[in-house]
């Protein structure tokens, strides 16, 4: 379903910012240029995910997890390497993607679902299911700008998982919202898994990763640190994190 070979992604970052546009123009006219540096968000990542497989992706903030999901989803193109993905995707990467803050929840359901490929009739047939799952019926005609981040997460998850995808891509969606809705999301994800949907799952919650995935990719500063059995990778990752904490706070281990 997913084949990544030698994937690398780089960004050009401005290392220095001027205080105003006027200052920038003056410095430009003087021949001074803003200093830039290259950040390799991913470096030579190769990965194969089979149909029906659930892969956990773990790592510290900035490790490249979200960038990898964006490559798989087709949101960004790699600087190097090839990405081959087969099947219909439901990407839950950026919760606000495909939504308009000025529109109501109802209007955003139609907007987002149309972006995901639904016809108007198809959306109307699924509308009540989406609203019922989100538990937002009392707020469905309220502008999205008045929603909390947890409410937006509910709406995004409820719409995206009506797609009946071949590949489900989840980036920290379960870190937002209350415990009750998280359990509902976990149950729906497990339903997809039982139906043979391929899942890429990014989370900092190792229990969630263990419950859902038999295989885990550990990314560290854009590189593959470890790829293999969930228990082995998570044990190594947690030991590494503990070691880092001790190095950063040596007095806490005394």
Same domain membership, residue 129 and residue 55: no
Can you give the pLDDT at residue 173?
72
Q: In what order do the strands lie in the sheet with 36-49?
A: 36-49, 2-14, 80-85
For the beta carbon of residue 43, count every other beta carbon within 10 angstroms: 19
- Residue 151 structural domain: 89-164
Can you give the pLDDT at residue 164?
82
Residue at 184 is within a domain = no
Number of domains in the chain: 2
d(CA 229, CA 216): 6
Can you give the CATH number for the domain in which 243 is found?
Answer: 3.40.50.300
Hunting for tokens 């390799």 — which residue is that? Answer: 40
Can you give the pLDDT at residue 30?
64
For the beta carbon of residue 184, count every other beta carbon within 10 angstroms: 18
d(CA 98, CA 133): 19
Query: Which stretches in the chain have pLDDT values below 70?
Result: 14-35, 95-96, 174-177, 251-254
Residue at 104 is within a domain = yes
Residue at 126 is within a domain = yes
Which segments within the chain are labelled E, that is strand?
A: 2-14, 36-49, 54-58, 80-85, 89-92, 167-171, 198-202, 215-220, 223-229
Same domain membership, residue 105 and residue 42: no
Can you give the pLDDT at residue 104?
97
Can you give the pLDDT at residue 33?
60
């Amino acid at each position: 379903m997913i084949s990544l070979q030698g994937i690398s992604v780089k960004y050009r970052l401005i290392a220095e910012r001027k205080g105003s546009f006027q200052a920038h123009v003056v410095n430009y006219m003087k021949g001074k240029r803003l200093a830039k540096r290259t950040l390799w968000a991913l470096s030579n990542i190769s990965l194969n995910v089979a149909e029906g497989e659930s892969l956990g992706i773990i790592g510290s903030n900035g490790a490249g997890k979200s960038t990898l999901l964006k490559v798989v989803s087709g949101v960004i193109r790699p600087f190097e390497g090839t990405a081959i993905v087969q099947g219909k995707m439901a990407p839950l990467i950026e919760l606000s993607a495909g939504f308009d803050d000025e529109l109501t929840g109802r209007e955003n359901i139609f907007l987002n679902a149309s972006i995901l490929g639904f016809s108007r009739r198809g959306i109307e047939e699924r509308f009540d299911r989406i609203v019922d799952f989100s538990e937002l019926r009392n707020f469905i005609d309220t502008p999205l700008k008045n929603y909390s981040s947890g409410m937006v997460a509910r709406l995004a998850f409820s719409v995206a998982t009506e797609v009946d995808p071949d590949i489900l891509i989840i980036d920290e969606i379960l870190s937002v919202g209350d415990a009750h809705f998280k359990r509902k999301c976990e149950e729906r994800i497990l339903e997809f898994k039982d139906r043979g949907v391929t899942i890429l799952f990014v989370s900092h919650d190792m229990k969630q990763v263990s419950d859902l995935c038999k295989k885990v990719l550990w990314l560290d500063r854009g590189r593959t640190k470890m790829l293999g059995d969930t228990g082995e990778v998570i044990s190594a990752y947690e030991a590494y994190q503990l070691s880092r904490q001790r190095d950063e706070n040596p007095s806490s281990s005394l």
